[in-house]
Amino acid sequence: MRKILYVLLICIVITGCTHRNYVDGVYRYLWGYKDGFAIWIVDGNIVRQKIYNYFLYGGNEQRYPFNPKGEIWIDHSVSCEEFELTLAHELNERHLMAKFGWTYEKSHDSSLALEVVMRRGYYEICRAHEATLPKMPVTDHNNVKEIPNISDSIKLENIYRVPLGILDGIHIWIVDGYMVRAKIFPDFGFSGNDLVYHFIPKKEIWIDGQVSAEETTYSIASELIERKFLANGSTYDSAYGAGIDTITERRYTMERLTKRQPPVILPDSLTRYAGTIDPMEK
């Protein structure tokens, strides 16, 4: 009996099997780095189920002690339309708590106000962009028109949502996919480019606002490769396949990266209500 108890004790020391003070499987996608922070898209369901059931949208180490220092977390269920806003919110909130010792509530409210400014700015940019565009054809690369009772060319209105910048000379936009399908082309998938859909202006890639933050960069990469192949004379099927192959390899690479991430250690307290001033904060 003593021998069995001794073996069980060793198991407890080595594996911590009597209680769980860490959680695996949280990390899903490394978006990149901003302002010195690693931006991780995490499995919000696991966080809510195994760590903190009030976790929403995102987090930082000032608010959540279980969120490792130097990391900003974004819930994988956040849409691409909300991603940039959520990221700005978390960076601002963390900065105010770390530099000035502000309370979470005050920092959170300030970050919500920042979101409002950003949302209004995006709206103005998108409406101004639409105002410069000519009427666009409503067909795809096969000259298929899927809604017979609309004009052959239409003015794009209230389609654009968020500008994501320029990659390889191509403008990346988040658009209202529902409106595209309802008013222009029902078979518009979760992304597209100007060489596949005639209603997308030249040198633009569209990403449906319903796409998750986790899938956005995969979608952009796929569209860039597809567009490059089409511009070089490939058939649509070949170009589409090349895009899929590219993101498949990227998924494997990301899977290997996330598996190397250490488990999340659970502290005694899961939240903070005031900042812990960081002397390294600028």
What is the structure's pLDDT at 148?
94
- Show the domains of the chain with their CATH numbers: 2-120 (1.10.10), 135-257 (no CATH)
Q: How confident is the model at residue 4 (pLDDT cuts 50, 70, 90)?
A: very low
Give the separation between CA 59 and CA 65, rounded to whole angstroms: 10
What is the structure's pLDDT at 275?
86
Helix (H, G, I), strand (E, B) or coil at 147: coil
Give the pLDDT mean for 169-187. Answer: 97
Looking only at the bridges linking them, the beta strands covering 27-34 and 37-42 are antiparallel
- Written as six digits, the tokens of 106 are 């005050």
Residue 132 has pLDDT above 50, yes or no: yes
| Cβ atoms of 199 and 185 closer than 8 Å | yes
Q: 90 exposed, middle or buried (CB, 10 Å; 0-12, 13-18, 19+)?
A: buried
| Cβ atoms of 159 and 189 closer than 8 Å | no
Q: How confident is the model at residue 2 (pLDDT cuts 50, 70, 90)?
A: very low
Which of these ranges, 13-22, 147-156, 257-266, has the smallest mean pLDDT? 13-22
Residue 5 has pLDDT above 70, yes or no: no
Give the pLDDT mean for 111-138. Answer: 98
| Cβ atoms of 264 and 26 closer than 8 Å | yes
Task: List the beta bridge partners of residue 32.
Answer: 39
Give the separation between CA 144 and CA 36, rounded to whole angstroms: 47
What is the structure's pLDDT at 180?
98
Q: How confident is the model at residue 255 (pLDDT cuts 50, 70, 90)?
A: very high
Q: What is the Cβ-side half-sphere exposure of residue 117, based on CA atoms within 13 angstroms?
A: 8
Helix (H, G, I), strand (E, B) or coil at 54: coil
What tens digit of pLDDT does each residue of 47-89 get?
999 999 999 999 999 999 999 999 999 999 999 999 999 999 9
Give the separation between CA 141 and CA 219, rounded to whole angstroms: 19
| Cβ atoms of 53 and 59 closer than 8 Å | no
What is the structure's pLDDT at 11?
39
